[in-house]
């Protein structure tokens, strides 16, 4: 992984999707922080993760949930 790569984690039941952004990377390790307003409480070991490279158009996807305003 490289700095700036985007990850998308899906809960095992498929109900929750959370985007992460890699904020630091070194040999064999990387750290990612939530990018947007996802509920990371449902992301547990065994959750499916998809990695998007920086050049991938999916890396620039929506980061916040759509809400209806009054």
Output the pLDDT for position 25.
Answer: 86
Output the pLDDT for position 66.
Answer: 67
For every residue of the chain, DSSP letters joined together read: --TT-EEEEE-TTS--EEEEEEEEEETTEEEEEE-SS--GGG--TT-EEEEE-TTSGGGGS--S------
Domain coordinates in residue numbering, the chain: 6-55
One digit per residue, the tens of pLDDT, for the chain of length 70 reads 788 788 889 888 888 888 888 888 888 888 888 887 777 888 888 888 888 766 655 555 555 566 777 7
pTM strictly above 0.75: no
Question: Token digits for 42?
Answer: 């449902």
**Surface-to-core class of residue 18, CB atoms within 10 Å of its CB (0-12 exposed, 13-18 middle, 19+ buried):** buried
Under a CB-based contact definition with an 8 Å cutoff, are residues 36 and 19 in contact?
yes
Output the pLDDT for position 61.
Answer: 58
Output the pLDDT for position 60.
Answer: 57
């Amino acid at each position: 992984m490289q700095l700036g790569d985007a990850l998308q984690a899906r809960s095992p039941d498929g109900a929750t999707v959370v985007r992460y952004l890699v904020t630091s990377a070194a040999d064999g390790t990387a750290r990612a922080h939530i990018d947007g307003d996802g509920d990371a409480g449902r992301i547990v070991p065994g959750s499916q993760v998809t990695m998007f490279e920086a050049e991938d158009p999916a890396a620039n996807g929506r980061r916040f949930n759509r809400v209806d305003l009054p």
